[in-house]
Structure 1
Amino acid sequence: MKKFFEAFANVWKIEELKNRILVTLGLLLVYRFGAHVTLPGIDATQLNSLTNQTQGGIGWLIDVFTGGAFSQASVFALGIMPYISASIVVQLMGIAVPYLQKLQKEGESGRKKLNQITRWLTILITLVQGPGYIYNLYRTLPPGAFLLPSSSFAFLFSSVVILATGTIFAMWLGEKITDKGIGNGISLLILVGIIARMPQAFIQEFTSVVTKNNGGPLQLLLEIVAWLLVIIACIMMIMAVRKIPVQYARRTTSGDFEQDMMGGNRQWIPLKLNASGVMPIIFAQAIMFIPAALAGLSKSDTAATITSQFQNVFGLAYNVVFALLIIIFTYFYTAITVPTNKMADDLKRSGGFIPGVRPGVETGDYLDRIMSLITLPGALFLAFLAVFPAVVSNFGVQQQWALFYGGTSLLIMVGVAIDTIQQINSYLLNRHYDGLMKSGKNRKAVA
């Protein structure tokens, strides 16, 4: 523990890292402040009915992803979810649209064009979701909550423009955190929203268990222990790797490569059990918002059934679909982020090979087969953790606190926290300090 605090103190000795952390904290503070700025024309003192709508189920999840802005009728009420939805659409279209496939292969310039396409698509999505949110306000809030005529075109137009602007500004904050801060900007925006709701959920569980004698302190202690065990399981899953041995051939005097039969100069390729991180959870959760939203536009009995099924995050149908989407997106995102064919080509050009596997195409097929094998248990475990809150809720745990037992909330918290620590760790190691994940004395610079 002492070594960890020493490493943490070293963070403030690196001027660039300190500035990036301060920039990140400042931008996150701006985002949290904006989550409490109510839309013009709405009485902030009459939002009780909207708050009640987000006390559980899908409404609670939407409110968490927006950092509480949804229940505050805030200028950030749509949050960053339209941007995530746009990212999903662009990545899915990248499989079938040749132009997007071409951009994916153009390196940095192609990535910038894809980002621009994603931004424009985000604006279009906000212009669709904005009127839907205002319509929800019409149905939920009492007439006295509207300081301006709610049916007027001026109120609708201005509110939609402000909601779209809020999402664009939140997207800009996330990109600035990624560029000028410590990275993972979009994920950090979601993280602070989750953390903001956590104390309230725990207080409600504490009140229910201790003061209302629903199990007493012993049950609360068991719940905390179980919660810590789930966190440890999440960390183990995210950090688990399969190491593939790689041996590099020796270069002869003629410039050709020859295999080192003595087995020297061996290295490893670390293939993560969960190479996609928390993105499958975020993608799947964004998709799960769609059926209930579309069904809510109809008044038929079928639409009402679909709405009730997909608004109950503890229901069987919701969790089965959610788990399947997570498995699908885990494979999909892993295929995008782990280009096994490119890894095989890079190994061949550098004289590297996997013992017993021919360089080139066979190496690419071998790596692809290994990734498929290790992704399956990773995807299944990720899906199980995602639906685990529905399991613990059957043991008397309050729903809001149960949602932190795995599910979207805990997986994003742990995943983003690990990614952020790794970002800070890399800065420390580059400046010849021990990282937050490694103990020992400060390293000396090598001349």
Structure 2
Amino acid sequence: MALGNAGGISSGLGKFTELRQRLLFVLGALIVYRIGCYVPVPGVNPDAMLAMMQAQGGGIVDMFNMFSGGALHRFSLFALNVMPYISASIVMQMAVYILPSLKALQKEGESGRRKITQYSRIGAVILAVVQGGSIAVALQNQVAPGGVPVVYAPGLGFVLTAVVALTAGTIFLMWLGEQVTERGVGNGVSLIIFAGIVAGLPAAVIQTFNAVRDGSMSVIALILIGIVVLGFTYFVVFMERGQRRITVNYARRQGGRNAYMNQTSFLPLKLNMAGVIPPIFASSILAFPATLAQWTGQSTSSTWLPRISNALSPGQPLHMIVLAALIIGFAFFYTALVFNSQETADNLKKSGALIPGIRPGKATADYIDGVLTRLTAVGSLYLVAVCLLPEVMRSQLNTSFYFGGTSLLIVVVVVMDFIAQIQAHLMSHQYESLLKKANLKGSGRGR
């Protein structure tokens, strides 16, 4: 028995050693990612690039720079981050529910999902080439404050070098994210985006405390910001865990001599089924006019584009109204794509399950669709509140501390998934330990 206990202890330590190795692998991968964010693309003046980006604040550039952890402002190898892969995956996910051929491919199992993932990778490479080439061409004519050119030697050679470097950086991050998913804990791509967002948090905190020290922000405003941040983070966690459980009953079945009693289960429907997709799409569309006005303002004499940009700038009433409408619209659109009420009703009918008081088939589909519509309405209003809070804080409290919106949603969702993965590893360790103890007790009684 002593040898058995020693074997159980050593296997337990081995299990914890595996978890520790996985966590260390995640940490090492994130360190490699952060180092790559400081390696500039050949041919670019990093100081001039940073000065120009800071002078042209706002627009979609700031949002992508936040996701890349400042890599875009430095125009480093990881300037595009994994955003081309995320965009390609979202488009492919939508195409699966629209195109019958891709939908049939998904139903083939693991082989079909691998093909769809391969298509997403190819799409990511194409998007990286297009985005990298567009940025490289636009940077050739840009100058930093003081007349310092951003690019040392503009021309075709620089454009090709930048495209190859940025595309290679995106492909490397795709590979690194897959390695983290396989050998680490959690989703690798999500953790890379999480690291990019969190990387800017210390600077924002220092900037806020400097504002209090300089007198541009009061201590009361700082305390209020801290209370709002903690309270709203708790609110986001609560809403992300929220779900509507529809009771499902399974009919009594007779199997040989055994009769199976009625079983009751639940069909869980998340409150925010669309996730962070609606805020990302809405913010990208709204930020595009401002970014286009910044990049083309010096080369065009038109006045309508700056007017539209000013009207849609953050803090303006029109910006808040349009942002809320886009988020609500994308929430309903994306939820309708990822969840098919009729298919769910058919699966329940095939498995002999029914919702109490609802007839199987079309009536069940209509009932689920009605519940999902009400949930999506509440979830979209929750997304609107989260995304508009930063603008209210900046306008009313006069703070530059970035909080809320898409970044908060991504951070909360990734942290929740990361903790769930660690708990799953710990639970599997406890389950295996209980099985080994039971086997040891059974062998002892046999003797």
TM-score scaled by length of structure 1 = 0.83
Tell me, in whole angstroms, the C-alpha distance in 2 between the residues paired with 1:307 and 1:128: 24
Say which SS state the counterpart of residue 271 (structure 1) adopts. Answer: strand
Equivalent AA in structure 1 for residue 231 of structure 2: L
Deviations 1:213-235 (A, max 9, x none): 34532221111011111111111
Matches within 5 A, 1:256-275: 265-275=263-273
Q: Pick from 157, 161, 186 the counterpart of residue 160 of structure 2.
A: 157
**Residues 146 and 231 of structure 1: CA distance in aligned 2, closer, same or farther (over 3 Å):** closer
Say which SS state the counterpart of residue 215 (structure 2) adopts. Answer: coil
Q: Which moved more, 1:119-128 or 1:141-150?
A: 141-150
Q: Which moved more, 1:127-136 or 1:406-415?
A: 127-136
Equivalent AA in structure 2 for residue 91 of structure 1: Q
Deviations 1:298-329 (A, max 9, x none): 7332333344455x333333333333332233
**Residues 246 and 408 of structure 1: CA distance in aligned 2, closer, same or farther (over 3 Å):** same
**Residues 417 and 207 of structure 1: CA distance in aligned 2, closer, same or farther (over 3 Å):** same
Tell me, in whole angstroms, the C-alpha distance in 2 between the residues paired with 1:11 and 1:37: 39
Partner of residue 316, structure 2: 315
CA contact (8 A) 2:59 2:288 kept: no
Tell me, in whole angstroms, the C-alpha distance in 2 between the residues paired with 1:14 and 1:346: 40
Equivalent AA in structure 1 for residue 191 of structure 2: L
Equivalent AA in structure 1 for residue 206 of structure 2: I
Equivalent AA in structure 2 for residue 206 of structure 1: F
Partner of residue 428, structure 2: 430
Say which SS state the counterpart of residue 201 (structure 2) adopts. Answer: helix
Partner of residue 213, structure 2: 211
- Post-superposition shift, 1:345? 3.5
Tell me, in whole angstroms, the C-alpha distance in 1 between the residues paired with 2:288 and 2:112: 29
CA contact (8 A) 2:142 2:150 kept: no
CA contact (8 A) 1:278 1:415 kept: no
**Residues 119 and 316 of structure 1: CA distance in aligned 2, closer, same or farther (over 3 Å):** farther
**Residues 289 and 132 of structure 1: CA distance in aligned 2, closer, same or farther (over 3 Å):** farther
Equivalent AA in structure 1 for residue 314 of structure 2: V
Equivalent AA in structure 1 for residue 202 of structure 2: P
- Post-superposition shift, 1:51? 4.2
Tell me, in whole angstroms, the C-alpha distance in 1 between the residues paired with 2:152 and 2:213: 43
**Residues 370 and 432 of structure 1: CA distance in aligned 2, closer, same or farther (over 3 Å):** farther
Partner of residue 170, structure 2: 167
Tell me, in whole angstroms, the C-alpha distance in 2 between the residues paired with 1:287 and 1:118: 22
CA contact (8 A) 1:34 1:76 kept: yes
- Post-superposition shift, 1:398? 1.8
Tell me, in whole angstroms, the C-alpha distance in 2 between the residues paired with 1:175 and 1:285: 27
Equivalent AA in structure 2 for residue 371 of structure 1: L
CA contact (8 A) 1:49 1:141 kept: no
Partner of residue 230, structure 2: 228
Aligned pairs, how many?
A: 420
Partner of residue 6, structure 1: none
- Post-superposition shift, 1:54? 6.2
- Post-superposition shift, 1:48? 4.0
Tell me, in whole angstroms, the C-alpha distance in 1 between the residues paired with 2:273 and 2:164: 38
Q: 1:107 and 2:105 equivalent?
A: no
Q: 1:359 and 2:363 equivalent?
A: no
Partner of residue 134, structure 1: 136
Partner of residue 188, structure 1: 191
Matches within 5 A, 1:3-402: 13-53=15-55, 55-56=57-58, 58-142=60-144, 148-150=152-154, 152-208=155-211, 210-253=212-255, 265-293=263-291, 296=295, 299=300, 300-309=302-311, 312-399=313-400, 401=401
Partner of residue 419, structure 1: 417
Q: Which moved more, 1:384-393 or 1:53-62?
A: 53-62
CA contact (8 A) 1:175 1:186 kept: yes
Tell me, in whole angstroms, the C-alpha distance in 1 between the residues paired with 2:413 and 2:92: 23
Tell me, in whole angstroms, the C-alpha distance in 2 between the residues paired with 1:354 and 1:193: 44
Tell me, in whole angstroms, the C-alpha distance in 2 between the residues paired with 1:213 and 1:119: 50
Tell me, in whole angstroms, the C-alpha distance in 1 between the residues paired with 2:55 and 2:105: 42
Deviations 1:88-139 (A, max 9, x none): 3333444543333333433332322222222222222222221322244334
Equivalent AA in structure 2 for residue 422 of structure 1: A
Tell me, in whole angstroms, the C-alpha distance in 2 between the residues paired with 1:267 and 1:217: 52
Tell me, in whole angstroms, the C-alpha distance in 1 between the residues paired with 2:351 and 2:289: 49
Deviations 1:166-223 (A, max 9, x none): 1222222223323332232222211111111111112212221x21334532221111
Tell me, in whole angstroms, the C-alpha distance in 1 between the residues paired with 2:291 and 2:108: 37
Tell me, in whole angstroms, the C-alpha distance in 1 between the residues paired with 2:45 and 2:285: 32
TM-score scaled by length of structure 2 = 0.83
CA contact (8 A) 1:249 1:257 kept: no
Equivalent AA in structure 2 for residue 76 of structure 1: F
**Residues 418 and 358 of structure 1: CA distance in aligned 2, closer, same or farther (over 3 Å):** same
Say which SS state the counterpart of residue 23 (structure 2) adopts. Answer: helix
| Greater Cα radius of gyration, structure 1 or 2 | 2
CA contact (8 A) 1:276 1:334 kept: yes
CA contact (8 A) 2:139 2:151 kept: no
Partner of residue 3, structure 1: none
**Residues 319 and 65 of structure 1: CA distance in aligned 2, closer, same or farther (over 3 Å):** farther
**Residues 169 and 322 of structure 1: CA distance in aligned 2, closer, same or farther (over 3 Å):** farther
Equivalent AA in structure 2 for residue 77 of structure 1: A
CA contact (8 A) 2:388 2:405 kept: yes
Equivalent AA in structure 2 for residue 395 of structure 1: Q
- Post-superposition shift, 1:257? 9.3
Tell me, in whole angstroms, the C-alpha distance in 2 between the residues paired with 1:67 and 1:328: 29
Structure 1 segments unaligned to the other structure (5+ residues): 1-9, 434-441
CA contact (8 A) 2:236 2:412 kept: yes
**Residues 100 and 309 of structure 1: CA distance in aligned 2, closer, same or farther (over 3 Å):** farther
Tell me, in whole angstroms, the C-alpha distance in 2 between the residues paired with 1:288 and 1:105: 36
- Post-superposition shift, 1:380? 1.1
Say which SS state the counterpart of residue 77 (structure 1) adopts. Answer: coil
**Residues 427 and 368 of structure 1: CA distance in aligned 2, closer, same or farther (over 3 Å):** farther
**Residues 289 and 218 of structure 1: CA distance in aligned 2, closer, same or farther (over 3 Å):** closer
